[in-house]
Amino acid sequence: MRIDYEEVCKIIAALTEGEMDEVALMATVVCELHHSDDRFDWTGFYRVVAPELLKIGPYQGGHGCLVIPFDRGVCGAAARTGKVQIVDDVDAFPGHIACASSTRSEIVLPVTTGQGKLLGVLDIDSDQPEAFTSEDASRLASILQSVFGRLP
pTM of the predicted model over 0.75: yes
pLDDT in tens, 124-149: 999 999 999 999 999 999 999 999 99
Q: By the 8 A CB rule, do 131 and 108 touch?
A: no
Encode pLDDT of 67-91 as tens digits.
999 999 999 999 999 999 999 998 8
Residues sharing a CB contact under 8 Å with residue 126, sequence separation 6 or more, in sequence order = 39, 40, 41, 103, 104, 105, 106, 132
Separation of alpha carbons 74 and 19, rounded Å = 29
- Report how far residue 88's alpha carbon sits from residue 93's, in angstroms, rounded to the nearest whole number: 9
Alpha helices in 66-105 (DSSP H): 73-81
Domains and CATH numbers, the chain: 5-148 (3.30.450.40)
- What residues pair up with 55 in beta bridges, in sequence order? 47, 67
Percent of the chain that is helix, strand, coil (3-state, to 5): 35, 25, 40
Partners of 50 in beta bridges: 53
For the cut 80, the answer to whether the pLDDT of residue 112 exceeds it is yes
pLDDT at 124: 97
Residue 22 near residue 151 (C-beta atoms within 8 A): yes
Does the structure show a pLDDT above 90 at 100? Answer: no
Q: Strand 105-112 and strand 118-126: pairing?
A: antiparallel
Identify the DSSP state of 90: G
Longest CA span, the chain: 41
pLDDT score recorded for residue 99:
76
